[in-house]
């Protein structure tokens, strides 16, 4: 769920009190107190102190607090979504997706966290070491810094924080400077639900983000590939581990035996949902020649039925700001100038707000930015291909590798295609659904990221340090290799270890 627009506003603008404008109307959505970067170390120190008691509650105790927060989210859903629409210019349909996703994640984590975080027994590597008991403990990193983007201010702010809080960490959240208001509401809800003060905010832009990186024990960043590289570089100064969910240019492949209507519906929703401002959105489509015309016609029909606008009764809303709209305009303008055709849209919506018409592009190729650069806008470029091999080659011809989708009536064939695509997840006969599969990792290849979010138990353990404790089962044989033991005892131990290591496996009786 990556937001790609870099911050270009002068840092001086992020001091004192700031006003956040609604991108759909230009009206004031609310005000925020920007954090002084010099205050971040103090905020982090407070979290570090509070985290000790939070860890000591144990998984069961933390689960109770998380459950109360889930109830608060459910009870305040309307308030949260109203603020989302004001802050981002989303349609009501898009705003309605975020709170349920968090409740789903919370429900899963609450049910599984005790087992996922329990100490784990490991077997002895050799029979001679059976006198030892080996246990791996998962110890939370005290402060997890989360630098979140603007495209999903609720979901992207907390979908990783939930795993960190479950693990026993404190969380220092820096929401996007474009969408700080919903983060304030979420923190209020955390405290109002009776949870301890282990979730804090740092509001601001680059300098505040830098201070968060410098004062956290782990960094979860969601954003552009270029900014992700800078985050990793800064974190490396203190050897702070990072998890980066970065940009994408997700391909869809439509085979000649696909359900064309289903594929068309999926492509339109996958490309236009949230005005295309989703890291795992459909950003380019490769369609086999026999069904190309039918697919394009179905897509155009669906797109022409879409309504653009904020709030109720619309399919998707505004882009976050004029800068993001300008990227979309450039990609379409350059493609058309190079020979592409816009079958729908192709320009911004008349009137106030940063709205762009849903745009279907054909006669495109990889010389065009609309097929190679992340657009993050409501566009759908479609390219005709002769063979599946050509589709796979073009899909992999990208610096990105976040997710993809394959449509075919033959699921086995689609799976064979899927495992040839260079990306972190592939949806068969669907789009974006991997985002809901929190039992599996969501991570990118190539410049789409490092590490993964979710992944079942790994989605909580990633925020922990592993500590191995080796304890004796018996004192027999203790100190067999110490200096004070005889050379005969040492030689005997070496012979036993050598024989054990080189012993052939026993054959199983038939």
- For 140-169, write each residue's pLDDT tens digit: 999 999 999 999 999 999 999 999 999 999
Confidence of residue 69 (pLDDT cuts 50, 70, 90): very high
User: Tokens 């790994």 sit at which residue?
Assistant: 458
Q: What is the dihedral of CA 291, 293, 295, 300, to 10 degrees?
A: 180
Q: Which helix (H) or strand (E) holds 201?
A: strand 199-201
Q: Which of 255, 279, 370, 423 is catalytic?
A: 279
- Catalogue the long-range contacts made by 384-392 (C-beta closer than 8 Å, 24 or more residues apart): 384/287, 384/289, 384/292, 385/286, 385/287, 385/288, 385/289, 386/288, 386/289, 387/288, 388/253, 388/255, 388/288, 388/417, 390/286, 391/253, 391/286, 391/288, 391/417, 392/253, 392/417, 392/420, 392/421
- Region 313-341 average pLDDT: 97
376-398 pLDDT, tens digit each? 999 999 999 999 999 999 999 99
Q: Which helix (H) or strand (E) holds 501?
A: helix 487-502
pLDDT above 60 for 310:
yes
Helix (H, G, I), strand (E, B) or coil at 378: coil
- What residues contact 507, with CB distance under 8 A and at least 6 apart? none
In angstroms, rounded to a whole number, what is the distance separating the alpha carbons of residues 76 and 186? 10
- Give the pLDDT mean for 501-505: 61
With a cut of 70, say whether residue 450 has pLDDT above it: yes
Residue 497 pLDDT more than 70?
A: no
Contact of 472 with 464, CB cutoff 8 Å: no
Tokens of 396: 């992999």
Say how far apart CA 344 and CA 322 lie, in whole Å.
Answer: 21
Q: Where residue 127 falls among pLDDT bands split at 50, 70, 90? A: confident
Domains and CATH numbers, the chain: 17-247+455-465 (3.40.605.10), 250-437 (3.40.309.10), 478-509 (no CATH)
User: What per-residue confidence (pLDDT) applies to 49?
Assistant: 98
pLDDT top residue among 361 and 487 = 361
Tens-digit pLDDT profile for residues 244-297: 999 999 999 999 999 999 999 999 999 999 999 999 999 999 999 999 999 999
The whole-number pLDDT of residue 130 equals 86
Q: How crowded is the C-beta side of 336, counted as CA atoms within 13 Å?
A: 17
Distance CA 473, CA 274 (A): 58
Task: Please say if 245 is a catalytic residue.
Answer: yes
Give the C-alpha separation, 321 to 94, whole Å. Answer: 17
Residue 457 DSSP one-character state: T
Instruction: State residue 9's pLDDT score.
Output: 65
Question: Would you say 406 and 414 are in contact if contact means Cβ atoms under 8 Å apart?
Answer: yes
Integer Cα distance of 279 and 250 in angstroms: 8
Which stretches of 273-380 are DSSP H helices? 289-304, 322-337, 369-372
Adjacency order of strands within the sheet including 120-122: 120-122, 132-140, 464-472
List 81, 177, 245, 374, catalytic entry: 245
Q: Is the separation of the CB atoms in 185 and 214 below 8 Å?
A: no
Query: What pLDDT is attached to residue 5?
Result: 42
Say if CB 376 and CB 324 are below 8 A apart. yes
* Mean pLDDT of the residues in the chain: 94
Q: Is the four-CA dihedral 419, 422, 424, 426 of positive or negative sign?
A: negative
* 370 belongs to the catalytic site: no
Local confidence band at 476 (pLDDT 50, 70, 90 cut-offs): confident
Cα–Cα dist 377/384, whole Å: 22
* Confidence (pTM): 0.93
Q: Which residue has the tokens 């990609």?
A: 331
């Amino acid at each position: 769920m990556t937001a790609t627009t870099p911050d270009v506003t002068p840092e001086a603008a992020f001091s004192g009190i700031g006003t956040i404008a609604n991108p759909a109307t230009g009206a004031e959505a609310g005000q925020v107190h920007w954090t002084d970067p010099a205050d971040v170390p103090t905020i982090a120190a407070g979290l570090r102190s509070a985290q000790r008691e939070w860890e000591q509650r144990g998984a069961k105790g933390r689960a109770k607090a998380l459950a109360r927060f889930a109830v608060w989210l459910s009870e305040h859903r309307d308030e949260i979504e109203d603020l989302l629409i004001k802050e981002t210019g989303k349609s009501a349909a898009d705003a309605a997706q975020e709170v349920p996703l968090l409740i789903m994640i919370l429900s899963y984590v609450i049910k599984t966290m005790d087992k996922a975080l329990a100490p784990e027994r490991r077997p002895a590597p050799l029979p001679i070491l059976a006198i030892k008991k080996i246990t791996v403990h998962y110890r939370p990193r005290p402060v997890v810094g989360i630098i979140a983007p603007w495209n999903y201010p609720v979901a992207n702010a907390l979908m990783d924080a939930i795993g960190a809080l479950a693990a026993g960490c404190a969380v220092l959240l820096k929401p996007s400077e474009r969408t700080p208001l919903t983060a304030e509401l979420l923190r209020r809800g955390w405290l109002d639900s009776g949870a301890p003060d282990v979730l804090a905010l740092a509001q601001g832009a680059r300098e505040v983000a830098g201070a968060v990186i410098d004062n956290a024990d782990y960094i979860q960043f969601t954003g552009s590939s270029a900014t992700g590289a800078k985050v990793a570089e800064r974190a490396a100064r203190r050897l702070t581990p990072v998890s980066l969910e970065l940009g994408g240019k997700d391909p869809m492949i439509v085979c000649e035996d696909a359900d064309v209507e289903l594929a068309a519906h999926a492509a339109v929703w996958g490309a236009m949902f949230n005005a295309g401002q989703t890291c795992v959105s459909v950003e380019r489509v490769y369609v086999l020649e026999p069904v190309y015309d039918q697919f394009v016609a179905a897509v155009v029909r669906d797109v022409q039925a879409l309504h653009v606008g904020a709030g109720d009764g619309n399919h998707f809303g505004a882009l976050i700001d004029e800068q993001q709209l300008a990227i979309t305009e450039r990609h379409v303008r350059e493609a058309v100038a190079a020979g592409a055709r816009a079958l729908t849209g192709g320009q911004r919506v008349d009137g106030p707000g940063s709205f762009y018409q849903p745009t279907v592009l054909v006669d495109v190729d990889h010389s065009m930015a609309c097929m190679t650069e992340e657009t993050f806008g409501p566009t759908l470029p479609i390219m005709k291909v002769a063979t599946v091999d050509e589709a796979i080659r073009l899909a992999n011809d990208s610096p990105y590798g976040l997710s993809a989708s394959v449509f075919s009536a033959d699921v086995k064939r689609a799976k064979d295609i899927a495992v040839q695509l260079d990306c972190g997840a592939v949806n068969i006969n669907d789009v974006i659904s991997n985002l809901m599969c929190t039992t599996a990792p969501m991570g990118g290849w190539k410049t789409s990221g490092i590490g993964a979010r979710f992944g079942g138990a790994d989605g909580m353990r990633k925020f922990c340090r592993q500590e191995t404790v080796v304890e004796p089962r018996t004192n027999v044989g203790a100190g067999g290799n110490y200096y004070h033991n005889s050379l005969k005892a040492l030689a005997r131990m070496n012979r036993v270890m050598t024989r054990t290591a080189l012993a052939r496996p026993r054959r199983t009786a038939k």
